[in-house]
A and B are shown apart, each in its own frame.
Chain A
Amino acid sequence: MKPRRVAIIGGNRIPFARSNGAYAHASDQDMLTAVLDGLVERFSLEGERLGEVVAGAVLKHARDRDLTRESVLGSRLAPETPAYDLQQACGTGLETVITVANKIALGQIDVGVAGGVDTASDAPIAVNEDLRQILLDLQRAKSLPARARTLTRLRPGQVVPEIPRNAEPRTGLSMGEHAARTAAEWGITRLEQDELAVASHRNMAAAYERGFYADLITPYLGLERDQNLRPDTSLEKLAKLKPVFGDTMTAGNSTPLTDGASTVLLASEEWAAERGLPVLAYFVDAQTAAVDHVHKGEGLLMAPAYALPALLDRAGLGLADFDLYEIHEAFASQVLATLAAWRDPVFARERLGRDAAVGEIDRSRLNVNGGSLAAGHPFAATGGRIVATLAKALHERGGGRGVISICAAGGQGVVAILEGAA
């Protein structure tokens, strides 16, 4: 059986909010339900039984074990729509798109929603690990003296809760510290990082100005635009910020902690035609890769540098063969280090086993409607934001090819190719 073409019909997200900002009291489930309902509204899906809804979150409460299914039940989709959670750090959002697209391609479903949500404000706080062990032992203890003995292990320090940290479990370094190492390794300057950040804000502000985001975003809790967006930022302003990671990375050229959610509607061409829904773009192919940042000294966020060449080879394309590039701006330095690796003949030879450098991109085609530095980065919601944004941008151009690259914690990377529909 020949795989079917997978159409991207559209997307819906809520404006992203800075953590402890507008969505400080919204839960993952609240936000995911809201974006699903926005999508339902936009594409008249009320009461529809879709093939599947796949979404995920990176920071999850224990109670959210079936976050997506619960969100579907709370939405205006038919309760008979199956759903499940998927999680791959910051790759989650794009990975859900890939999963839904593959099922459509294989004919297992005709339509599905991919999505992601994250809140850094409503973060799960857990009982202190020592205290948790004592409480569990207390439950297991069968006799009164045994319970009493267990209770003697209680200490005042155990009231301190476990708060999720933005640190790699196996290195103890924060993602920013890892990125700073990579930035130093690739000789990334402060100036080029700030330039990328300015371009991100300006591109996104311009996209809002011309109404590009009007049918991609539904206002939520009083927010109409991404809260992190600073249309008037400048190199001069960014230059004043003090480095927070290494000696070049600042709050201005790194993404802040963000709350938000996004969804993408994918379907077979037939399904879209039946509904008279225009197709924005087609999902072509995707690739994931992982690096050993623990023992082999690889950059934590450099996996896309490996994933994309593999994908290009399979697609028979060169790096220059794209009209638009969407590289997730976890940190400006991460984008620049990835671009450096792609144009480096030594990286090509030593790490990728290729005779020549992967190539260079036309920077005027990079993140043309803004990137994560401007929008913010609610971990699992970023993939959906980018897929919908790129699909629409390609459609606006009347076609063409676009590529997405997203780095993720744990040394992983997800990349995908979209093709615009006229």
Chain B
Amino acid sequence: MSDRYARLVRMPVAGGVAKRVGLPQPVALEREGPFRGRVLLGGAGRVARSAASVLAAMEVDAATALDDPVREHAAAAGLGAAVFNPLAPADQRFKALVFDATGAELVELHRFFHPTVRRILPSGRVIVLGDGRRALEGFTRSLGKEIGRGATVNLVHVSEGAEERIGDTLRFLLEPRSAYVSGQVIRVGAGEGVPLAGRTALVTGASRGIGAAIADVLEREGAEVVRLDLRDADIELDITAEDAPAVLAERFADGLDVLVHNAGITKDRTLGKMPEERWQAVLEVNLFAPQRITDALLGVLRERGRIVCVSSLSAIAGNAGQTNYATSKAGLLDLVDTLELSGGSTINAVAPGFIETAMTAAMPLGVREAGRRLNSLRQGGLPVDVAETVAWLAASGLDRNVVRVCGQSLLGA
């Protein structure tokens, strides 16, 4: 679990040596508490007004350029934004840069970020509000790889008419809880967010690791969480059991608001050496059981219900020895794409990258170190990083998004 290398590079002498020889420099990511610091807001597309309102509601210290039309939006939103002039920058530093690129010429990206990107503080944030253009993805993904110092870069495409719906997502991406989410493209549609307080949530595989963290975070947000696992849980059940769907439908006959498919296993082996039962066992737990349980619980899923699947980076990037696992986890993404839902309910997935758990601690050293370092943040994530992302998806109005929690891993798209 412990990242000895990350601690080493933070020590005075060893850290200096590591820096000189060009070794990765992971910084201790800020993960907790509210957003603190100054946000520079720029761009005046169709989302700027809403972004200014979100920042005003967060009561953050904001700034804009004096002659940026966004300042009119800031004023209208009651955002007491300070003035930033890149030609007279003094010693201004920013915790976050938020740029509304909807409808903007691409040169505006350069004009806004070129003088400011080196003014970002450690664990800072870059958020581009986009209009669906792939050009913006190329920009944010590349910036994420060069920004360094624990800062993250994400792109939020906002559909026409969904401008007022960016609040949950903008907050999440700004706040420390999104520490390990970088290089992502998030699509905000017309769906409305629902606070987790008072909602009933079922989390599978909740007795340890990522599942336990998910349950804890949902509980912290005020949800009534039912933890399911083989043992040490509120419901002790094998989800692959034939009667599992019926048992759960009965248990939640009064209704369920949030369903988190987290339970999963690995049985790694290269395909040529993998017997069918090894293949099938993984698909049963990771894909077929969630499919059956989803079908069974759709009847009790309340209005504006939320389904969140815990997929995997392996599902997107592929991983040697994990044909079974990747097939199952990618199958969950099919569920995200195709499940028919009504009543304002949504389905989304998170795809964790290298997360420091008992599972990754058991990996051979070389693989483990590669997993930890081969991402833009140069370190592994923590279960809570995945859990925070799940909680955000479960509370937001987002639908059919797949968000990787991987520190922008070099693997996969």
Contact = CB atoms under 8 A, between A and B. Distances in A.
Given A185-B82, A349-B78, A344 B88 contact: no
A346 B88 contact: no
A345 B71 contact: yes
B13 interface: no
A379 B76 CA distance: 39
Given A184-B90, A346-B75, A189 B80 contact: no
Interface in A311-364: 340, 343-346, 348-350, 357
A186 B92 CA distance: 12
B87 A187 contact: yes
Contacts of A185: 82-83
Contacts of B87: 187, 189, 191
Contact of B74 (A189, A191, A246, A345): A345
Given A340-B66, A344-B66, A187 B74 contact: no
Interface string B80-113: 1111110111100000000000000000000000
Nearest to B79: A346
A195 interface: no
Interface string A218-241: 000000000000000000000000
A348 B75 CA distance: 8
B337 interface: no
B30 interface: no
| Consensus secondary structure, chain B interface | loop
Given A186-B66, A189-B88, A344 B80 contact: no
Contact of A344 (B79, B83, B85, B89): B83
B72 interface: yes
Contacts of A190: 88
Contacts of A348: 75
Best-buried of B74, B80, B87, B90 by chain A (most CB within 10 Å): B90
A328 to B, nearest CB: 22
A348 B71 CA distance: 11
B83 A187 contact: yes
Given A185-B83, A340-B83, A344-B66, A349 B88 contact: no
Best-buried of B75, B88, B89, B90 by chain A (most CB within 10 Å): B88
Interface string B55-72: 000000000111000011
A187 B85 contact: yes
B64 to A, nearest CB: 8
Contacts of A247: 90
Nearest to A350: B80
Interface in A157-207: 183-191
B82 A344 contact: no
A183 B75 CA distance: 21
Nearest to B69: A345
Contacts of B71: 344-346
Given A344-B66, A345-B71, A346-B74, A189 B83 contact: no
A68 interface: no
A188 B72 contact: no
A219 B113 CA distance: 56
B358 to A, nearest CB: 51
A386 B405 CA distance: 65
Contacts of B80: 346, 350
A186 B83 contact: yes
Contacts of B65: 187
Given A349-B78, A350-B80, A189 B85 contact: yes
A191 B399 CA distance: 50
B72 A184 contact: no
Contacts of B84: 187
A131 B78 CA distance: 54
Nearest to B72: A345
A184 B63 CA distance: 13
Best-buried of A247, A343, A346, A350 by chain B (most CB within 10 Å): A346
B75 A248 contact: no
A193 B84 CA distance: 17
Interface in A3-34: none
A397 B27 CA distance: 66
Contact of A187 (B78, B81, B88): B88
Nearest to B52: A346
A291 to B, nearest CB: 16
Interface in B12-64: 64
B39 to A, nearest CB: 14
A187 B75 contact: no
Nearest to B74: A346
Contacts of A184: 88, 90
Nearest to A348: B75
Nearest to B85: A187
Interface string B246-270: 0000000000000000000000000
B96 to A, nearest CB: 18
A349 B75 contact: yes
A184 B89 CA distance: 8
A340 B75 CA distance: 15
Given A247-B90, A344-B66, A350-B80, A188 B75 contact: no
A321 to B, nearest CB: 22
Interface of A: 183-191, 246-248, 340, 343-346, 348-350, 357
7 contacts: A186-B85, A188-B85, A344-B71, A344-B83, A346-B74, A346-B81, A348-B75
User: Top 7 nearest A-B pairs by Cβ distance?
Assistant: A187-B85, A345-B75, A349-B75, A184-B90, A189-B88, A350-B80, A187-B88
Given A184-B88, A185-B83, A349-B76, 19 more contacts: A184-B90, A187-B66, A187-B83, A187-B84, A187-B85, A187-B87, A189-B85, A189-B88, A248-B88, A340-B83, A344-B66, A344-B83, A345-B74, A345-B75, A345-B76, A346-B75, A348-B75, A350-B78, A350-B80
Interface of B: 64-66, 71-72, 74-76, 78-85, 87-90
